[in-house]
Chains A and B, each alone.
Chain A
Amino acid sequence: MTTSRAIKVTVNGVAYERTVEPRLLLADFLRHTLGLTGTHVGCEHGVCGACTVLLDGDSVRSCLLFAVQADGTHVETVESFGTIGQLNALQEAFHEHHALQCGFCTPGMLITATDLMRKYPLVSDDDIREGLSGNLCRCTGYEHIVRAVRAAVARARDPAP
Chain B
Amino acid sequence: MKPAAFDYVVAESVDAAVKALAAADGEVKILAGGQSLVPMLNFRLLRPSILVDINRIPDLAYVEERGDAIVIGALTRHYRLETSPVIAEHLPVVAEAMRHVAHLAIRNRGTIGGSLSHADPAAELPMLALLLDATLEVASPTGPRTVPAKDFFLGALSVDLAPDEMVTRVTVPKLPPVTGWGFAEVARRHGDFALAAVAATVTLRDGVAGEVRIATTGVDETAKRARDAEALLTGKVVTPELVEVAIAAVRAGINPPTDLHASSDYRRHLVGVLAGRALADAERRAHGEEP
Give the complex CA separation of A45 and B108 in angstroms: 16
6 closest cross-chain pairs (CB), A and B = A134-B103, A22-B8, A45-B39, A2-B5, A58-B108, A64-B38
**A60 in the interface (beta carbon within 8 A):** yes
Partner-B contacts on A (CB < 8 A): 1-3, 5, 21-25, 28, 44-46, 49, 52, 55, 58-61, 63-66, 68-69, 112, 115-116, 119, 129-131, 133-135
B55 close to A133 (CB less than 8 A): no
A119 close to B104 (CB less than 8 A): yes
B104 partner, pick from A21, A22, A66, A115, beta carbons under 8 A: A115
Tell me the nearest residue of chain A to B40, going by C-beta: A45
A59 close to B35 (CB less than 8 A): no
A134 close to B191 (CB less than 8 A): yes
A116 close to B104 (CB less than 8 A): yes
B35 partner, pick from A52, A64, A135, beta carbons under 8 A: A64
B104 close to A59 (CB less than 8 A): yes
B103 close to A63 (CB less than 8 A): no
Give the complex CA separation of A116 and B42 in angstroms: 27
Give the complex CA separation of A13 and B103 in angstroms: 27
Contacts A/B (CB < 8 Å), 20 sampled: A2-B5, A2-B7, A2-B8, A3-B7, A22-B6, A23-B5, A23-B41, A25-B2, A25-B42, A60-B105, A61-B35, A61-B109, A66-B38, A69-B31, A69-B34, A112-B103, A112-B104, A115-B108, A116-B104, A135-B103
**List of B residues within 8 angstroms of A22 by Cβ:** 5-8, 51
B191 close to A46 (CB less than 8 A): no
**B102 in the interface (beta carbon within 8 A):** yes
B106 close to A61 (CB less than 8 A): yes
**List of A residues within 8 angstroms of B51 by Cβ:** 22
B109 close to A64 (CB less than 8 A): yes
Decide yes or no: A65 and B38 within 8 Å by CB, A133-B190, A133-B191 being known contacts: yes
5 other contacts beyond A23-B2, A24-B1, A45-B38, with CB at 8 A cut-off?
A2-B7, A25-B42, A44-B2, A64-B35, A68-B8
